[in-house]
């Protein structure tokens, strides 16, 4: 996925505004990956025999998936870029990823899909932090 993200950023007809293209591309890719992983984890939780014990995990997975997808989409749009909006959505994404990773880590020993999801959330959380650090 990151190859396509970078290719699209490379083809953008205007200047990207001094943003680190590699850090931006990595963040967009991490957000899309995390959104897919959280969606799949929520679905896997629904298939578990103990689904009633995973309702909070499912809700947090779906919240995180929505926030990550929205973040990736907003960051992908460079025309009329607004740094304040970018900062706010990156902070929200980082917060959602942290909450989801924390929740999934509670179930990781019993459910492999939660372990995988927690890892994707931590990667996305870090990627959002890395991009935030470049925005000043």
| CA separation for the pair 136, 98 (Å, rounded) | 22
Q: Is the pLDDT score of 7 beyond 90?
A: no
Domain presence at residue 7: no
Would residue 14 count as lying in a domain? no
Residue 122 located in a structural domain: yes
Q: CA–CA separation, 14 vs 113, rounded Å?
A: 41
Q: Does the pLDDT value for residue 2 go beyond 70?
A: no
- pTM, two decimal places: 0.93
The tally of domains found in the chain comes to 1
Question: Where are the strands (E) in 2-135, listed by range?
Answer: none
Residue with tokens 């957000």: 31
Answer whether residue 12 is part of any domain.
no
Determine the structural domain holding residue 70 and report its residue range.
20-135
Write out pLDDT tens, residues 62-87: 999 999 999 999 999 877 778 899 99
CB of 45 within 8 A of CB of 38?
no
What backbone torsions phi and psi does residue 101 show, to the nearest 5 degrees?
-60, -45
- What CATH number is attached to the domain comprising 87? 1.20.1270.360
* Residue 10 included in any domain: no
* Domain presence at residue 67: yes
Residue 11 inside a domain? The answer is: no
**5 assigned to some structural domain:** no
């Amino acid at each position: 996925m990151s190859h396509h993200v970078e290719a699209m950023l490379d083809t953008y007809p205007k200047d990207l505004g001094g943003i680190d293209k590699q850090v931006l591309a990595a963040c967009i890719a991490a957000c899309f990956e995390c959104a897919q992983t959280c969606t799949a984890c929520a679905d896997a939780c629904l298939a578990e025999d103990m689904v009633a014990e995973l309702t909070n995990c499912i809700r947090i997975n779906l919240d995180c998936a929505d926030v990550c997808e929205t973040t990736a989409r907003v960051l992908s749009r460079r025309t009329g870029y607004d740094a304040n909006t970018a900062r706010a959505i990156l902070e929200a994404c980082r917060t959602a990823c942290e909450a989801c990773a924390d929740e999934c880590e509670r179930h990781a020993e019993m459910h492999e899909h939660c372990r995988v999801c927690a890892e994707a959330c931590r990667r996305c959380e870090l990627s959002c932090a890395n991009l935030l650090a470049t925005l000043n």
